[in-house]
A and B are shown apart, each in its own frame.
Chain A
């Protein structure tokens, strides 16, 4: 089954404690991206990757890092989380040739 898997689904952490949200896809997609969804703001792109070792900033990259060492994985790293990063995060993947993106189930992060 084609899918994008994010872990964890829920996470509560404290300010400043580094965390990683993992994302994995099994469709051999080149393009992967991270979004955050906040009330009244919709989905905003954080980072995206066109392929292995190729990453670029989206619209709201501050406070986040990503890496793309393998095609299937695209982890989102928060080196020093702050309360304003409390949000619902989605990972997505797509083929370069297609417009359709597949989204993960989401990770609800709370930073206290």
Chain B
């Protein structure tokens, strides 16, 4: 049973436009939601997080939105830059465990 789902394996966005990465979850008991970015041959790096009691968190070009009623969160990147091309993992924490989605590969097109 997949508790954290990233239904789009890949996404292509023009440079300068907005990138929107989506994530759905099934367990309403998650405490925090996080986004990680991963380049090839490197470990994931933390991007941004949001507490389950909030609905928005912003950090520079990155904004995460949480819709608890829909059990959905999204990561917005504005404007998209070439260095944003990577795999993005959505993750959720519950009872000291972290559960990751399968990832979405983002391609920023010139």
Given contacts A48-B96, A99-B34, contact A105 B43 (CB under 8 A): yes
Q: Which residues of A contact B45 (CB under 8 A)?
A: 103
Query: Do the beta carbons of B102 and A41 come within 8 Å of each other?
Result: yes
For B51, give the chain A residue with the smallest CB separation: A99
Question: Roughly how many angstroms separate A101 CA and B19 CA in the complex, as a whole number?
Answer: 24
Query: Do the beta carbons of B102 and A101 come within 8 Å of each other?
Result: no
Interface size class of A (residues with CB under 8 A): 20 to 34
Query: Do the beta carbons of B43 and A45 come within 8 Å of each other?
Result: no
Q: Is A59 an interface residue (CB 8 A)?
A: yes
Question: Roughly how many angstroms separate A40 CA and B96 CA in the complex, as a whole number?
Answer: 24
Query: Do the beta carbons of A102 and B46 come within 8 Å of each other?
Result: yes
Query: Do the beta carbons of A4 and B43 come within 8 Å of each other?
Result: yes
Query: Do the beta carbons of A43 and B96 come within 8 Å of each other?
Result: no
Q: Is A27 an interface residue (CB 8 A)?
A: no
Query: Do the beta carbons of A106 and B46 come within 8 Å of each other?
Result: no
Question: Roughly how many angstroms separate A72 CA and B103 CA in the complex, as a whole number?
Answer: 29
> Residues of A at under 8 Å CB distance from B?
4, 31, 33, 35, 40-45, 48, 50, 56, 58-59, 90, 92, 99-106
